[in-house]
Amino acid sequence: MGGPEEAIRTRLERAGQAHLLRFWAELEPTQRASLRDTLAQLDAEELSEHCKRAAEACAREQGGRGQAGRLQGNLEPIPAEVLGSVCRSDGATRARWEEEGLRQISQDKVAVLLLAGGQGTRLGVPYPKGMYDVGLPSHKTLYQIQAERIRRVEQLATERFGTQCVIPWYIMTSEFTLGPTEKFFQEHNYFHLKKSNVIMFEQRMLPAVTFDGKAILEEKGKLAMAPDGNGGLYRALVDNKILEDMDRRGIQFIHVYCVDNILVKMADPIFIGFCVSKGADCGAKVVEKAYPTEPVGVVCRVDGVCQVVEYSEITLETAQMRNPDGRLTFSAGNICNHFFTRGFLQEIAENFVAFEVLREDEFSPLKNADTADKDTPTTARQALLSQHYRWALRAGAIFVDANGQRIPEKHSLSGNEGSPVVCEISPLVSYFGEGLEMYLKAKNLQSPFVLDEAVMKSMAQHE
């Protein structure tokens, strides 16, 4: 090895990472060129510091945990005074929160921030998850569903307060998903959102590191890279001047979510209104855990500080604790759905709240191919269709078979049960089940039924 390679080896030795070249002699010329290019982009001091921080963080984590890595700190459930609930609040309270949320949206103070760095590897597809079609009658992708929910909630705020408004959509990708995502949005005309209000940016990738601070080779000639998870969101917002853009637009509140939840409520006015009314700097939506050992993180307090504790860090005894009413003590399951003020993102303040929502209404992640037993295209599709079926029944619709006979109704569906009929309602028609009575009340409908803007206009004309 000589020339540029020797210089790279010298820098790696200085960073304590010379092992990354241990297979150099076995590599093909193209593999050598690729690895050389990757390593040449890494600053030796920064790489050394990154690996050192990772090892120190691991040591701290282990120091705060006992046997099998379980947390040893004082765990407490989220205090009642900072926990709101959509299902345990009365209608007037929910309406007040929704009004406040729509008011903030109408004043252009709300943005949504999508975490979309994941590829569809576990789904078995070579493209970003947001481009996935779960098999709805409309064949809408996750990106289209989310774009249309943004358009609808903008419309609701405009109708309520009489002012045209915009919800900017910030999309944080990885180096693997930025190009395909940009191309996909261009090909679909940004789903009729204004291009200037869809802001894509890339989260930095850093070498994956072992517990003892050594960078990892994914293959003999390929460095394992991962999104900069430790503060990576904040770094990406600063590096890409996203906070500056939010400041210029007058954004004060940001709804952050993951791309794979088909039921996500974009810029949810009730959640935003709750957080604003509580004066929160940050907030998290939670769902009640389905069972004690469900593999989801738990939002709780550790030594007085609110945080998400991974399910693997909680002892079985703690996970199974129950309150006098029989509910799990640590029941607040994290669904990666957050509220932040812009001030929090800039200064990291600490006034935290949590907001409990119904799983069947707001959480059905898409993670695995249909060969898995959960979080698949089938479960995501069933969750959305079951929700829309419940909306239609609530609006007074009657579903009949091909002979005109009424199909027995099921009112208490969860997303996993599946609906007795296929009913899809476009987000452009209804954001969360509102306004459907005028189209569906006392109407006989046959499955499959799709209510989109064209059908809505046709129904209106026949009134």
Domain boundary among 362, 395, 414: 362
Domain annotation covers residue 157: yes
DSSP letter string, 305-318: EEEEE-GGGS-HHH
In this predicted model, which residue has the larger pLDDT, 21 or 163?
A: 163
Name the DSSP letter for residue 83.
E
Shared domain check, 279 and 160: yes
pLDDT of 50 > 80? The answer is no
Is the residue at 341 inside a domain?
yes
Tokens of 249: 């637009």
| Interval 73-97 mean pLDDT | 91
Whether pLDDT at 450 is above 80: yes
Closest CA to 233 of 56, 355, 113: 113
Average pLDDT, integer, range 32-50: 75
β-bridge pairing 352-356 and 83-85: parallel
Residue 29 sits at φ, ψ, to 5 deg, of: -55, -40
Q: Is 403 inside any structural domain? A: yes
Q: What is the pLDDT of residue 229?
A: 55
pLDDT for 230? 46
Mean per-residue pLDDT, 192-211? 87
pLDDT band at 164 (very low <50, low <70, confident <90, very high): very high
Q: How many domains does the chain have?
A: 3
Q: What is the mean pLDDT of residues 92-116?
A: 97
Lowest mean pLDDT among 58-62, 231-235, 315-319, 419-423: 58-62
- The pTM assigned to this predicted structure is 0.84
Confidence of residue 449 (pLDDT cuts 50, 70, 90): very high
Mean pLDDT value of segment 310-322:
88
366 token code pair:
């898409």
pLDDT at 436 over 50: yes
Residue 306 has what pLDDT? Answer: 86
Torsion over CA of 186, 189, 192 and 194, rounded to 10 degrees?
50
The pLDDT of residue 279 is above 90: yes
Q: What is the pLDDT of residue 201?
A: 94
**Do 12 and 127 belong to one domain?**
no
Q: What is the mean pLDDT of the chain?
A: 88
DSSP 111: E
Enumerate the H helices of 250-315 as residue ranges: 269-277
What's 410's domain CATH number? Answer: 2.10.10.100
Token pair recorded at residue 110: 């709300």
The model's confidence at residue 53, banded by pLDDT at 50, 70 and 90, is: low
Model pLDDT, residue 415: 65
Q: Give the pLDDT of residue 354.
A: 94
The whole-number pLDDT of residue 56 equals 65
Mean pLDDT over 87-104 rounds to 96
| Per-residue model confidence (pLDDT) at position 68 | 47
| Residue at 326 is within a domain | yes
Q: Provide the pLDDT for residue 2.
A: 56
Could you say which of 362, 385, 406 is where a domain stops? 362
Q: Residue 455: give the domain boundaries.
A: 377-461
Average pLDDT estimate for 116-125 = 81
Q: What percent of the chain has pLDDT over 90?
A: 56
Residues 298 and 336 in one domain: yes
pLDDT tens, position by position, 171-180: 999 877 899 9
Averaged pLDDT, 321-341: 93
DSSP state of 277: H
Give the HSE-up count for residue 28: Cα atoms under 13 Å, Cβ half-sphere. Answer: 4
Verify that 301 and 447 share a domain, yes or no. no
Determine, yes or no, domain membership for 353: yes
